[in-house]
Structure 1
Amino acid sequence: MILTLKKHKKVLLFLLKFFATYFVLFAIYSSYLKRNQQLDPFVNAPVTQLVANQSAWVLEVFGYQVDKVQHTEELSIFLALNGNYVGKIVEGCNSISLIILFVAFIIAFSGKLKATLLYMLFGAAFIWIINIIRIVVICIMLDKYPEQEAFLHKLLFPAIIYGAVFLLWVIWVNKFSAVKK
């Protein structure tokens, strides 16, 4: 048994660091969401409102007239382009859960402290920006091709954002992680 633990020490250490980081960050985020819902059960958390506002701003830069409306009976923000409803932004659209997953992986495969912290910071910012772009493009596409909603929302755009995170992980492991090659 001890020989097996020594043999798999790196794997066990990775799993311990990953799950510990993930659950701590997830608990903090869940507490944040719960506190926000206690203040007003039908108003999205400020971070989700920020994503909606930033997405609307980018759409407006591209010349769209954007209407954002906080749903009064569920945690979502409706978006309309030029008067056409294109969708809603919910908590899952704000990329925080994905950033938590990204950070947990980076910590589990940590490298030098400065590199780890900088990569987490810039990686999280990159994920945030990709997510805003994802929301903007999906809104434009849904305005033009509403019949493609299932393909766009459930396949194409998740593949883009998860693919971006996977690419960040590959770069981290190959260039900055302390993992022995």
Structure 2
Amino acid sequence: MLQLFKKYSVVIRFIAVFLGSYFLLSVLYNSYLIYSEAQTEFYPDFFTNIVSRQSAAIMEFMGYSIKLEAHETESAIKVFIEDAFLVRVVEGCNSISVIILFVSFILSFFAKKRTTILYILGGSVLIYAMNLIRIALLTIGVYEYLEYTNLMHEIIFPLIIYGTVIILWISWVRVYANLEKNEDQV
């Protein structure tokens, strides 16, 4: 049994670090969401609120008249273009869950501290920015091409955000492999 653990120690370490960091970050995020229920300044929570406002700024920059409004019955921000209610931005739209998934994977292949932290920060910013653009384009797409709403929301835009994460993961594994190879040569 000990030989199996030694043989697969890298895989076991990966799984343990991934699951452990994912669990810890998810618990922290869930605690934040529970705490956010009590505050009213940034409805429904700070990150969802700020993502809604930043996405609205992108759409306004593109020439659309945007109005945001707290949803009456859901924890969501309603987004209007030209006074037409189009989409709701809910907690699941703020990219934090995707960033947690990304960070957990990167931590599973922890390399040099500085390199890993910079990659996590850079990748998280890229995912966040891609998400803002995704929400803005999805809202405009619903406004301009209502008949394609399900295709855009269920297929195209998840492909963009998760595709970004997968490309970042693949890039990190390559960076990690090169760092490991360089350390072995030293």
With structure 2 as the length reference, what TM-score do the two structures score?
0.92
2:184 is matched with none
1:102-113 aligned at under 5 Å gives the runs: 102-113=102-113
Separation in structure 2 between the aligned mates of residue 79 and residue 129 of structure 1, nearest angstrom = 18
1:93 corresponds to 2:93: yes
Deviation track 1:35-61 (CA, whole Å, cap 9, x = no partner) reads: 111335x93101100000000011111
1:126 corresponds to 2:126: yes
Separation in structure 2 between the aligned mates of residue 72 and residue 113 of structure 1, nearest angstrom = 45
Q: Measured at CA, do residues 84 and 179 of structure 1 come closer, stay the same or move farther in structure 2, by a change above 3 Å?
A: farther
Shift, 1:121, TM fit: 0.3
Deviation track 1:116-151 (CA, whole Å, cap 9, x = no partner) reads: 000000000000000000001111111011111110
- Structure 1 segments (4+ residues) deviating >2 Å: 176-180
1:11 is matched with 11
Separation in structure 2 between the aligned mates of residue 86 and residue 175 of structure 1, nearest angstrom = 41
Q: What is the SS of the residue equivalent to 1:110?
A: coil
The letter for the 2-side match of 1:11 is: V
Q: Are the equivalent residues in 2 in contact too, given 1:115–1:176 (CA < 8 A)? A: no
With structure 1 as the length reference, what TM-score do the two structures score?
0.95
Q: What is the SS of the residue equivalent to 1:38?
A: coil
Q: What is the SS of the residue equivalent to 2:80?
A: strand
Structure 1: tracts of 5 or more residues without a match: none
Q: What is the SS of the residue equivalent to 1:122?
A: helix
Shift, 1:106, TM fit: 0.3
1:173 is matched with 173
Shift, 1:110, TM fit: 1.0
2:78 is matched with 78
Identity level (%): 38
1:32 is matched with 32
Q: Measured at CA, do residues 82 and 114 of structure 1 come closer, stay the same or move farther in structure 2, by a change above 3 Å?
A: same
Q: How many residues align?
A: 180
